[in-house]
Amino acid sequence: KGFRFPDHLKKEIELAKKKQYRILTFFDSEYPPLLHHIPDPPPYIYVKGCLKHTDQSVAVVGSRNASGYGKSMAMRLSRDLASLGLNIVSGMARGIDTAAHIGAISAKGQTIAVLGSGLGVIYPPENRRLYDEISENGAVISEFPIAEGPNAYNFPARNRIISGMTLGTLVVEATQRSGSLITARLAGEQGREVFAV
């Protein structure tokens, strides 16, 4: 009888085609090369947009409730790094992440958002326009099924991709118990650089 593709996987692949998302596996040439070197790389990722030169990327992460100073620093540093040809990777969250993506786009650079939800669930919802801008100036990626919501346990998993696909992580205004510090710790464990403002 041979192998039968499970129905839920068929539906997921059809939905990805319909929404024009690509599914990249660990073995695809466009799969971020630095992810090959972390202990637990995602076997595949969903992509909306275009991944180019992802081996030249820096993560910029930080507080959701950032100060004006923090947001302006994140925006400025991301703009400067993007203008030097580096990709800016962040999580599209409120605060520092949003500022980092906007800074990269303002320099006409590439930026990549790694979501803690599926590509079909934009979180936070007010970043819908930013989601579209990021996918036009880089890519939005996720390892989660398309319709998966932003469940709390998704974010630590998402953070290992942010740190794992980049040369280093810049943390701006992280609180003591925050996802940003998890990302910084993961970057250290993955042998990557960690910077802080």
Q: What percent of the chain has pLDDT over 90?
A: 82
Residue-wise pLDDT tens digits, 45-97: 999 999 999 999 999 999 999 999 999 999 999 999 999 999 999 999 999 99
pLDDT value of residue 80: 98
What is the predicted pLDDT for the residue at 153? 93
- 66: Cβ contacts below 8 Å, ≥ 6 apart: 74, 95, 96, 99, 172, 173
Q: What is the pLDDT of residues 96-134, one digit of tens each?
A: 999 999 999 999 999 999 999 999 999 999 999 999 999
Sign of CA pseudo-dihedral 181, 183, 184, 186: positive
Q: Give the neighbor-by-neighbor strand order of the sheet with 44-49.
A: 22-25, 44-49, 138-142, 111-114, 87-90, 57-62, 168-172, 193-196
Question: What pLDDT is recorded for position 3?
Answer: 67
pLDDT for 1 beyond 70: no
